Amino acid sequence: MANEAPTYQRLGALKDVAAFRAYLRANEIDLPCEDAVVSGPDSPLLRPVTVDGLRIGNRIAVHPMEGWDGTSDGRPTEATFRRWRRFGQSGAKLIWGGEAVAVRHDGRANPNQLCIGPNSGDDLRRLREVLVEEHVRTTGLAEGFVVGLQLTHSGRYCCPNVKGRMEPRVVYRHPILDKRVGVDSDAAVMTDGDIRRLIEDYHIAAKVAADAGFDFVDVKHCHGYLGHEFLSAHTREGDYGGVFENRTRFLREIVEGVRSVAPKLHVGVRLSAFDTLPFRPNPDRSSPGKPGPGVPEPYQHLLPYRWGFGVDANNPLEMDLGETIEFIALLGRLGIRLINVTAGSPYYCPHVQRPAFYPPSDGYQPPEDPLRGVARLVDAARELKVRFPDCVFVGTGYSYLQEFMPHVAQALLAKGWVDCVGLGRVVLSYPEVLWDAAHGRPQQAKKICRTFSDCTTAPRNGLPSGCYPLDDYYKGTALHGRLRAAKAAKSADAARSAPGD
């Protein structure tokens, strides 16, 4: 039946926690949820946690959230500073990276991404300063405030120069994703020499971050970008592909160099702990401007599937954490115990990566109740935490929980399934959501992220990211008008070739 999108319960319409729990029960979705949120000093959200000598003053974390609003030479603008100030307003004691910063120009995911360059030392120090200032204004003290910088190269999703013009650099040829980004020859495949030179750029970037006062760098291994792609480079030959040892050489060589140029700098890793196949809108249930529900790309001819990490090769729709566990054990041997658990990629399986009720303009209708996506992320983090109790794990994917996020967050912390609760999209609309909850203040319903996906749709249409529907900074502005017009006029082509995060 064309265009018939599945309907799931809108969480905002559930009247209270009891109704939410009843819904979970009725649909056999396994998510813990506490009836009452504890506030004040006994709040589980406010307890400190220590990792490798780094004391994190509470359990609230802010995920990296990029804004596509830097200058063409990769420097922050007023909008970037504002976003970092708002990260500070969250009351979170752990800022995981601020946003993805490309270690060099050709690794940018969009022509407005921050990028390491001649002014980065000063720029990053100023970004960190406004963040600390705002954090102190909110919480009253800087003690226990831990700030990282996420370092990245966008690999398959590079778009450094012109909006919409992809310039992919890949680790291996991919039977499904190559055509989505215009890879049609081996010219886009990085040589071992290219990779060694890039690793040196990570070392330089880490030193810049250390000198600018950051506590740690995240060597990003998620969301389909270059670091993540190495982990599934089964089909690559040479030093950086094939066996597990080669597929993790990129990480090891980066970390080795970071330890030598910035010995006091901590290292964390944001990891897509599991993956799935690339999805697309069901062609039989789509029409122009109205994508149908997501379905996996045909894959039977590709079994056993050799292009994924954290997937079952015989059924790549299922996760398999075997190698993920091996990878975290390796991180432990490298002295890395700060891990941010995410999954998949916003480019090819957004329902796994950021469960949403409303899809982005180049996405598809949810193929499942988005709560199942949240539960899957929760499960993966839980399994890893059980295996590695000494690591500090930051969980991801909670924005979809809306009013019930503080209840679930508290339950997850109380059960020890995760160490810190990371805020993604909701930090754009309501940074202080968990801080309010932990202080007994009522939730500000009008600011709660409803997963409208405009913050993802805007960059897909060449605009800066932000919460257009709920943040007054964008509401009613020319940018908002442009987003509306772009959505109305969106062409499938433009959507396919635009940046993600």
Ligand X SMILES: Cc1cc2nc3c(=O)[nH]c(=O)nc-3n(C[C@H](O)[C@H](O)[C@H](O)COP(=O)(O)O)c2cc1C
Q: Write out the residues near ligand X by the rule CB under 6 A.
A: 63-66, 99-100, 150, 222-223, 270, 342, 354, 396-400, 423-426, 455-456, 465, 501
Among ligand SF4, ligand X, none, partner that 150 touches (CB below 5 to 8 angstroms by kind): ligand X
Among ligand SF4, ligand X, none, partner that 467 touches (CB below 5 to 8 angstroms by kind): ligand SF4
DSSP notation for 119-188 = THHHHHHHHHHHHHHHHHHHHS--TT-EEEEEEE--GGG---SSTT-----BSS--TTHHHHHT--SGGG
DSSP notation for 281-346 = E-GGG-BTTB--BEEEPP-GGGPSP-S-SSEETTEEEEE--HHHHHHHHHHHHTT--EEEEE-S-T
Q: Any idea how long the chain is? A: 501
Complex with ligand X: residue 59 or 234, whichever CB lies closer: 59
How far is Cα 499 from Cα 164, in angstroms, rounded to an integer?
Answer: 7
Pairing of strands 338-342, 392-395: parallel
Whether 161 contacts 110, CB under 8 Å: no
Complex with ligand X: residue 65 or 258, whichever CB lies closer: 65
Complex with ligand X: residue 305 or 400, whichever CB lies closer: 400
User: Torsions phi, psi of 182, nearest 5?
Assistant: 80, 25
- H-helix or E-strand containing 61? strand 60-62
By beta-carbon distance, which residue lies closest to ligand X?
424
Query: Shortest gap between Cβ of 465 and ligand SF4 (angstroms)?
Result: 8
Complex with ligand SF4: residue 150 or 453, whichever CB lies closer: 453
Query: Shortest gap between Cβ of 484 and ligand SF4 (angstroms)?
Result: 13
Among ligand SF4, ligand X, none, partner that 215 touches (CB below 5 to 8 angstroms by kind): none
Complex with ligand X: residue 104 or 236, whichever CB lies closer: 104
Complex with ligand X: residue 321 or 423, whichever CB lies closer: 423
At 31, is the secondary structure helix, strand, or coil? coil
Query: Shortest gap between Cβ of 343 and ligand X (angstroms)?
Result: 9
- Interface residues toward ligand SF4, by CB under 6 A: 425, 428-429, 449-455, 467-470
Among ligand X, ligand SF4, none, partner that 397 touches (CB below 5 to 8 angstroms by kind): ligand X
Among ligand X, ligand SF4, none, partner that 450 touches (CB below 5 to 8 angstroms by kind): ligand SF4
Query: Shortest gap between Cβ of 409 and ligand SF4 (angstroms)?
Result: 17
